[in-house]
Amino acid sequence: MAYYDITRAFDEEMPVFPGDPLISVKQQENDGCRVKALSMSTHSGTHIDAPSHYIISGVTVDRIPFETLIGEARVIELPAVFGSI
């Protein structure tokens, strides 16, 4: 079976959950290296919510077997609804 990373790339235009801060990417002062500061909510972009997010005694992400997070997926382009969740 082939595996594909279907993570959406981060950018400052991507939608966020209502009430969460917008994603911010800022170029840091140049000291000879390319460094950026990234600020975002943990609910930004492609992610999972572990049971511990809702249940105090729930399982944390580090305890979820990797195989549980793998499955079939279909990627569908929806440009008309870009900007909304």
Whether residue 82 is contained in a domain is answered as: no
In tens, the pLDDT along 28-37 reads 887 788 888 9
Catalytic residue numbers read 53
Is residue 58 situated within a structural domain?
A: yes
pLDDT at 13: 86
Q: What DSSP character marks residue 44?
A: S
Q: Tell me whether residue 51 is in a domain.
A: yes
Domain that holds residue 68: 24-74
pTM greater than the 0.85 cutoff: no
Q: Tell me whether residue 60 is in a domain.
A: yes
Asked if residue 67 is part of any domain, the answer here is yes
Q: What is the pLDDT of residues 4-29, one digit of tens each?
A: 888 888 888 888 889 999 999 998 88
Lowest-confidence pick of 27-31, 57-61, 76-80: 76-80
- Domain membership of residue 80 (yes or no) is no
Summarize the confidence of residues 43-58 as an average pLDDT: 91
Q: Is the pLDDT of residue 58 over 90?
A: yes
Each residue of 18-30: b (16+ CB within 10 Å) or e? eeeeebeeeeeee
Number of domains within the chain: 1
